[in-house]
Structure 1
């Protein structure tokens, strides 16, 4: 099993940091001697099928969004990469970044690292990045996983999937920014993105977000090739996610997930962002169930 750590650059530009990975994996020491057998069986189950994950974050986030989840997956014996893409992370000031630039960056990372049998995971807006990146490197993918992520229709945009009042808010924020970016107001972020978090946790998470390049949210995407792919797909649905209204022609599941045709459905209790930070093991376990054979 290979791994990568340290700063990683593409074309001379810093794009992410991969923490060091310790091998071989050792299961945690049980609290009591009689738990040893159960702990060993659990560790073996987790290592039954080591996977290679590429984790793609969504809007108002960067690659650090995955730190806790990635660390847990690595602890369980998997290989994990969380690459950055234009307009985010160290490149957050690049508000002219396009959707094509973002998806190409993810595909380039997969090819540069010569990854094979990849479980490609997209969260939120990252689902649209995954759709286009999958078109570019389909032969390198084992499975495509969406976790409360947009699955756009051919010719559609992310903004097409939002309620009119949300589109109006984002348009107003974009026009007021002066640089084609959208920064979420805290009350909207608190109620929609981290509705299960304590106020303290919500404020901590909000302190880490940056303005989002607006253009890709309104771009229409040609997805004919994506819908011709035979790559297996999974959808992880966090059932208390309030970013999209549940029902009324919106929502993650079944509204988005049903567009995948045949897919594996995994459900968990969580909102849009909180559990990625507060319960990374839970998210890691859901992703493993979604990605394994």
Structure 2
């Protein structure tokens, strides 16, 4: 699927102890997305040196919750950034799976406005791309830059399911129809090959243990995105070469198929898959998000 061999870019860092504390505002202290707490320090390619101080709001994707960001957020905070990881409707500790895309969007908008956040770097991963598209329509004056990390950038009037390869869309429809609560639970073989393809089997099984059924409705809703496409907000796209969730070519893929829809945008690339690196190489991901968000 990826016939080329991308170069892995490495960045020399030095330790920075100027980390402000008390900025983690996610209300969720328990969950399945546990990260290896020594990974940020052991990833020697990404030892940190002083960076421009930014305020990140990180929005996760499907089959995840706010704990997806734990390792990445810790690295960013250690390097002096302010980081928020809001949870949204139908995910995390919320037992209600009967949610809409508008409800999910409202969760993030309400978080940003109640915290009175401004000049934020709003990051969306995967399905989170569709969320930050809609969030930005409502709080554009609070956003400094939008960052899409292997994220869906839907056209006006599209649903996420419209951008899936026919075989994947059919599988999702079948899984949805077989559920009792209109959710989609990924079978492990599908999750392993598409979402965590670079992981070891042990890593893949560990990540999968934290996966919960995903509300299906928001994945199939058509979104009105006319306002989004009129916004002048600066945008970036972070693309990982080995991400196998969408195939490259034949009218699919993350970059350039999705990214080019942003118009003028900054492209940052990395060598990783869809989910594994958030767990195993959070310092690398954090550096890519910083490069995407900095001035």
TM over 0.5: yes
2:105 maps to 1:122: no
| Offset from partner CA, 1:124-144 (integer Å, 9 cap, x none) | 000000000010100000000
Distance 1:224 1:137 in 2: 15
Is the strand fraction higher in 1 or 2?
1
* Contact 1:68-1:280 at 8 Å conserved across structures: yes
The corresponding residue for 1:71 is 74
Asked which structure has the greater RCO (Cα within 8 Å, sep 6+), the reply is 2
Tell me the TM-score normalized by structure 1. Answer: 0.86
Calculate the TM-score normalised by the size of structure 2.
0.86
Q: 1:4 aligns with which of 23, 35, 49?
A: 23
- How far 1:200 moved relative to its partner? 0.4
Answer yes or no: is the 8 Å Cα contact 2:99–2:215 preserved in 1: yes
Task: Indicate yes or no: 2:45 matched with 1:43.
Answer: no
CA contact (8 A) 2:26 2:85 kept: no
Unpaired segments ≥5 residues, structure 1: 9-15, 19-27, 32-38
Structure-2 change in CA distance of 1:76 and 1:246 (3 Å) = same
Per-residue CA distance 1:15-47 (angstroms, 9 max, x = gap) = x459xxxxxxxxx9xx9xxxxxxx8xx623x2x
Structure 1 residues 108 and 2 mapped into 2: Cα distance closer, same or farther (>3 Å)?
farther
1:142 paired with 2:144, answer yes
Aligned length: 262
The Cα shift of 1:165 comes to 1.1
- Dislocated runs of 4+, deviation >6 Å: none
State the partner residue of 1:21.
none
Matched residue, 2:287: 285
CA drift at 1:4: 3.2
Specify which structure has the higher proportion of helix: 1
2:25·2:84 contact (CA, 8 Å) conserved in 1?
A: no
User: For residues 280 and 2 of structure 1, what CA distance do their matches in structure 2 show?
Assistant: 19
What CA distance in whole angstroms lies between the structure 2 residues aligned with 1:6 and 1:124?
22
Q: Which has the larger radius of gyration?
A: 1
In structure 2, distance between residues paired with 1:286 and 1:6: 23
Alignment partners' CA distance in 2, 1:132 and 1:155: 12
Kept after mapping to 2: 8 A contact 1:72/1:284: yes
CA distance in 2, matches of 1:160, 1:94: 25
Contact 1:3–1:79 (CA under 8 A) maintained in structure 2? no
For structure 2, the residue ranges without an aligned partner over 5 or more in a row are 1-19, 31-40
The residue aligned with 2:62 is: 59
Q: Which of 86, 90, 108 is residue 89 of structure 2 equivalent to?
A: 86
1: CA distance between counterparts of 2:100 and 2:93? 16
* CA root-mean-square deviation: 1.7
1:34 corresponds in structure 2 to none
Q: What is the match of residue 35 of structure 2? A: none
Residues in 2 aligned to 1:173 and 1:128: alpha-carbon distance in whole angstroms: 22
